[in-house]
Amino acid sequence: MSDQKIAIVSVYDKTGLLDLAKGLAQQNVRILASGGTARMIRESGFPVEDVSAITKAPEMLAGRVKTLHPAVHAGILARNLESDEKDLADQNINKVDYVICNLYPFKDTVAKVNVSIPEAVEEIDIGGVTLIRAAAKNHKRVTILSDPNDYAGFLGELEKGEISETSRNRYALKAFEHTADYDTAISEFFRKEYAGSGDQYLALRYGANPHQKPAAAFTAHQQLPFKVLCGSPGYINLLDSLNAWPLVKELKEALGKPAAASFKHVSPAGAAIGLPLTEDEKKVYFVNDIEGIDSSPLAQAYARARGADRMSSFGDVIALSDIVDVPTASIISKEVSDGVIAPGYEDAALEILKKKKGGKYLVLQIDPDYTPGPIETRTVYGADNWWMRFHERVLGIKWKKGTKRPDKSNAIDLLVSGELPRDGAEKEAFEAVFEEVPPAFTTEEREAWMKQLKDVCVSSDAFFPFIDNVFRAARSGVRYIAAPSGSQNDSAVFETAEKLGITFVQQNTRLFHH
């Protein structure tokens, strides 16, 4: 047994290795190393011993077994306990104080073209990972260095006599992250090889952007919670789908009526339940020509969800709480949309959807019993414009024959927002869709119409920090606000709401979700 400090060194990335060896030698640290690491230190003239000096066993199995030995790991894992000291003494094992180890970048191996499974298997490190994990586990006593960038700071502290607890903690965190990243790379490779043809893995068209390839969705569980019935999803399509689905599921469970949501960029542009539509609502939502709309609460729900903010819903992903029927599919077939997720589809409805976008429209079937886990591992305006669309001037618009739905939506948004083009080609394009160009709304007309908007409900995912939000909501006919508390200005917000005749429902949960 010796009081001399011991370092075990086994690194793939040999950046800074000789400076490290020099510093350790200057502090009279006994250096034990293996393979190429020992050879490089020895050839540079610094004192080093092979790990076999303490294991009394040679490297074997073509180098696959070098450091896997009680003399190594008992020395690393031993704590400053009387029982541990006795065990070490009985076996004549010395404590290890410093472990310097980093791993071959497995990602580099599997990034090669046509890399085989046997080639990949050979690059799976066992001893190195065990060294790092053992030292990081016992970082209360042992210092683990897995990043060459930390060598200089480590040697600076070593010269002063002791490695601080703060440094050991930081080095241990890096070590755990290093092994986690390494294991992730391995599991990703074998997931593609072994789960690619099953229900756990789905290749995507691309990631968040078209140039980000390859991309995939996978689950560590038995199977993905959805099936692709048509089309091919991209990453954001899935984000929209899997965030929209819980919303309609909860709406259906809470209110007992079919629900629909229109999602864009992982946020709801509109959500609604299936309530009968008035004749004016049918016109506003462009569904007055949909056969069977009056007998389909699901179709009514989507018409409302899409119609809440047609501009933001352009190119949406749709979530539907119930089995999709023909009236609902008929609405979807006419809208500019990227995809739909629902628990099921009538045969005729699915055939309609499969014809959309030349057969490339995304149709996902979700497991209705699926509930996402508690942890996720992975980013609207319109209350006034929506109401202005119900004005008789908008309902009475005379369109030129053949005007497309997107052109109608854009023209209506310009009209109701008050942002009409004044001259030039933009004005000509705006006026070209009408048989009779409707006059712009005056300020007085807009204010008079807005006063007729009543009983609006507002829900916020966070508290209202200022009273101006309450005043603004009141101008749009808001009578009810549901929002979390937690602001220093809560009392002023509550008082303002009460003065304006607004019922403020205080919620317990703040939820930011992007």
30-33 vs 6-11, strand pairing mode: parallel
**Res. 112: pLDDT tops 50:** yes
pLDDT band at 379 (very low <50, low <70, confident <90, very high): very low
Q: What is the dihedral of CA 45, 50, 54, 57, to 10 degrees?
A: -160
Higher pLDDT: 450 or 246? It is 246
Q: What is the dihedral of CA 317, 322, 324, 328, to 10 degrees?
A: -70
The CA-atom distances, in angstroms, between 98 and each of 4, 143, 152, 157, 357 are 12, 5, 14, 13, 62
Give the whole-angstrom CA distance, residue 445 versus residue 393.
11
What are 86's two structure tokens? 């006795």
Q: What is the mean pLDDT of residues 73-93?
A: 91
Active site residues: 137, 265
In order of their start, the domains of the chain are: 6-192 (3.40.50.1380), 222-366 (3.40.140.20), 388-430 (no CATH), 443-507 (3.40.140.20)
What are 185's two structure tokens? 């790379």
pTM, whole model, 2 decimals?
0.58
**Residue whose token pair is 């066993």:** 57
Q: How do residues 167-197 score in pLDDT, each as one tens digit?
A: 999 999 999 999 998 998 888 788 777 765 5
**Res. 384: pLDDT tops 90:** no
Say what the pLDDT of residue 511 is: 66
Higher pLDDT: 483 or 201? It is 483
- The three-state (H, E, C) secondary structure of 353-381, written as one string: HHCHHHHCCEEEEECCCCCCCCCCCCCCC
Residue 194, CB half-sphere, CA atoms under 13 Å: how many?
A: 9
3-class state of residue 80 by DSSP: coil
Higher pLDDT: 372 or 139? It is 139
Say what the pLDDT of residue 329 is: 97
Say what the pLDDT of residue 3 is: 81
pLDDT band at 475 (very low <50, low <70, confident <90, very high): confident
**Res. 241: pLDDT tops 60:** yes
Q: How do residues 23-68 score in pLDDT, each as one tens digit?
A: 999 999 999 998 889 999 999 999 999 888 888 877 777 777 777 8
Q: How do residues 484-511 score in pLDDT, each as one tens digit?
A: 888 888 899 999 999 999 999 888 776 6
First to last CA, the chain: 58
Q: How do residues 346-376 score in pLDDT, each as one tens digit?
A: 999 999 999 999 999 999 999 998 877 776 6
pLDDT band at 125 (very low <50, low <70, confident <90, very high): confident
**Res. 74: pLDDT tops 50:** yes
Say what the pLDDT of residue 45 is: 93
Q: What is the mean pLDDT of residues 270-290?
A: 95
- Contacts with 388 (C-beta within 8 Å, 6 or more apart), sequence order: 394, 416, 417, 441, 446, 449, 450
What are 450's two structure tokens? 């807005």
**Res. 513: pLDDT tops 80:** no
Mean pLDDT of the chain: 88
Give the whole-angstrom CA distance, residue 239 versus residue 263.
10
Say what the pLDDT of residue 54 is: 86
- Lateral strand order in the sheet of 478-484: 456-459, 478-484, 503-507
Closest CA to 235 of 261, 266, 205, 263: 205
pLDDT band at 69 (very low <50, low <70, confident <90, very high): confident
Give the whole-angstrom CA distance, residue 97 versus residue 145.
11
Would you tell me the crossing angle of helices 165-194 and 151-160 to the nearest 10 degrees? 150
- The three-state (H, E, C) secondary structure of 458-514, written as one string: EECCCCCCCCHHHHHHHHCCEEEEEEECCCCCHHHHHHHHHHCCCEEEEECCCCCCC
